[in-house]
Amino acid sequence: PVRTGDAVATVGASGGNTESGLYFEIRHEGKAFDPMRWVSLK
């Protein structure tokens, strides 16, 4: 389980990108869901 304060990702430039970025999604049983339904931004 992921707990408060756990790192879940790192960001950086790769694959020829000129800017850092992060692609984030939640999957359940192989189906992608919009993470904004579960994540609050602070």
CA 4 to CA 36: how far, in whole Å? 17
SS3 content of the chain, % helix, strand, coil (to 5): 5, 20, 75
Q: How many domains does the chain have?
A: 1
List the domain range (segments joined by +) for residue 24.
1-42
Read off the amino acid at residue 16: G
Task: Enter the pTM of the model.
Answer: 0.38
Residue 42 has pLDDT above 70, yes or no: no
What pLDDT was estimated at residue 31?
Answer: 92
Read off the amino acid at residue 10: T
Output phi, psi for 11, to 5 deg. -120, 155
